[in-house]
Amino acid sequence: MSRKPRPTWFVLAAASFAILLIGAPSVPGQNDPAVSEEAETIVPFALPKSGPFNPADIEIKNDQSITDWFRSAHADAAAEAFRHWDEEEEITAVCATCHSGEGFRDFHGLDGTTAGKVDGPINTGGVVDCGTCHNAGLADIEEIAFPSGLMHPVQGVEASCMTCHQGRTAGSNVVKAVGDMDLDEPNADLRFINPHYATAAATWLGGYGGSGYHYDGKDYSGRFFHARPVSSCVSCHEPHTLEVAFEPCLTCHQADSAEGIRIARQSYDGSGNTSKGIKSDLQANAATLLEMIKAYAADVAEVPILYDGTRYPYFFADANGDGVVDQSDGKAVAYTSWTPRSLRAAYNWKLVTADPGNYVHNPPYMLELLYDSIEDLGGPLGTDIEALNLLR
């Protein structure tokens, strides 16, 4: 005959009682205070000595850091940056390095695998977790490879920041793609080259990092060295919330916000207004370049182009010029009438605009890339660059 199961509370109570009995056996001299004290120290309690037990009473010394991280973009498990591969149930190896803490550790060999590649498979569902930036093995990483081929020296957590905020391409990729093609002849073999997103480290290193397309005969600013206290990513960015600290800026700058800081007493966008932040000059010149890319596509390549930042590959065909992206089989038609001249200008435009903090990370380099791209497109468009009053 089957035995009726005991109530859960009875089983738990019995188990706890048994553990208490086992942990505190009867021994000779147990009434001796010294012996009793020794026995007390080795009693393994399954439940607290007194209750009720409240988890909130347990002190977690880094609970604020955990809370800050949990609310940051690095921990947003619902974001496209971490959900993009859900249907495949596995993150593509080349993407896993930065879109999963597991992938990051795999790439750098922090999980015991070979460094320099993702062995995988890397499961979906991961985020930029604590182990991405707090792994003891980061101390052994001395340099990070950039898309340009540059090996940049790093220390500690810099390895995490620079691994994932360097972009996926460099100006050298554009050089290789266009080769010795006719500058203004559309070539169906050309495709838009995407620098990727949040390219802060690439911006910061400037011409030294080689992230942008560099025009022949031009010199480009290198790494943007700031004041000594502002020498690393975490000098400005709170590592858990990712928020930018503005107070240190006030040591040298007078402004109400980082966006309002101006680094020069001259106007770069032709407006003559030097009371606004340098961010405004960058935005204005980027807008000018985008309009010139569109004009060039329509007048020189003779196939109008439209930009849609919400979907890849961002630049789409508008063959009839009606301002609506062309469709084929229900899908948007990617722009395929690139010329070498338009491709390299579009690449630089995307690189500059891919870093929302470009006005802090390296404004001189960003302004140079924009100016040179505008100047280059101005030739076939017949634009009087001097009349724009832009400065490089």
Residues 6+ positions from 165 with CB-CB distance below 8 Å:
198, 199, 200, 201, 202
pLDDT for 335: 98
Q: What percent of the chain has pLDDT over 70?
A: 86
pLDDT of residue 57: 75
Q: Does a structural domain hold residue 119?
A: yes
- In this structure, what token pair is assigned to residue 306? 């439209």
Query: Is the residue at 136 inside a domain?
Result: yes
Mean pLDDT in residue range 124-131: 96
Q: Give the tens place of pLDDT for each residue, 269-305.
A: 999 999 999 999 999 999 999 999 999 999 999 999 9
Q: Is it the case that residue 153 has pLDDT exceeding 80? A: yes
Asked, for residue 112, whether it belongs to a domain, the answer is: yes
Q: Is position 49 within any domain?
A: no
pTM given for the model: 0.84
Q: Which domain holds residue 106?
A: 73-140
Residue 359 maps to a domain = no
What's the rounded mean pLDDT across residues 169-173?
A: 98
Query: In total, how many domains does the chain have?
Result: 1
pLDDT the model gives residue 86: 96
| Beta carbons of 206 and 365 less than 8 angstroms apart | yes
* Contact of 338 with 192, CB cutoff 8 Å: yes
In a domain, 63, yes or no: no
* Domain-embedded: residue 325: no
42-46, 311-315, 330-334, 357-361: range with lowest mean pLDDT? 42-46
Do residues 317 and 305 make contact, with C-beta atoms less than 8 angstroms apart? yes
What CA–CA distance (Å, rounded) separates 211 from 150? 10
In a domain, 383, yes or no: no
Q: What is the pLDDT of residues 174-214, one digit of tens each?
A: 999 999 999 999 999 999 999 999 999 999 999 999 999 99
Half-sphere exposure of 324 (CA within 13 A, CB side): 5
